[in-house]
Amino acid sequence: MNTDTEYLTQEKYSALEKELSTLKTVKRKEVAEALEYAKSLGDLSENQEYQEARDSQAVLEDRIHRLEAILKSASIVSGSASGAVAVGSRVTLERGSDKVKRVFTIVGSEEADAAAGKISMRSPLGVAAMGKGKGESFSFITPSGEMTYKIIGIE
């Protein structure tokens, strides 16, 4: 897989497009208005409102550029029809040490949310699981030691 490609579900791609549109229209206008107001207060060298508006503008433009880059390099994924773990796969794993079963969805790094069970394909677990099939076991190293999992199911 290409490391420059951002793998996204259609849902996340649409959400990022919507965010980008909002940032370019609504938020840019709000920041421009804040800058104009701050300029009207006088001396820019000691104007805290102006500095804060400039900082907001820089953060906004950075996020816009980041979203444009993500969407430009995005590849829409929808799971694996091959029976192997891939981006978009919903995987049921059994931890070797205590036989606890967990369900994860393998996603691109922009969508990762461990609390919601969405694991990045670039995380240690994601990297170790990619390409494996049902019934296979795999191990990877974490800060707390080696972890071993067995793939119980792939959707």
Residue 134: CATH number of its domain: 3.10.50.30
How far is the first Cα of the chain from the last one, in angstroms, to the nearest whole number?
20
Are residues 66 and 40 located together in one domain of the fold? Answer: yes
The rounded distance, in Å, linking the Cα atoms of 64 and 137 is 41
Q: What is the CATH number of the domain that holds 10?
A: 1.10.287.180
Q: Would the pTM of this model clear 0.75, i.e. be above it?
A: no
Cα dist from 40 to 18, 45, 55, whole Å: 32, 13, 17
Number of domains in the chain: 2
Torsion of CA 39, 43, 46, 48, to 10 degrees: -20
Q: Per-residue confidence at 109, pLDDT binned at 50, 70, 90? A: confident
Which residue range(s) make up the domain with 42? 6-76
Query: What is the tens place of the pLDDT at every residue in 40-96?
Result: 887 777 788 888 989 999 999 999 999 999 999 988 877 655 688 988 889 999 998
Residues facing residue 8 across a β-bridge: 76
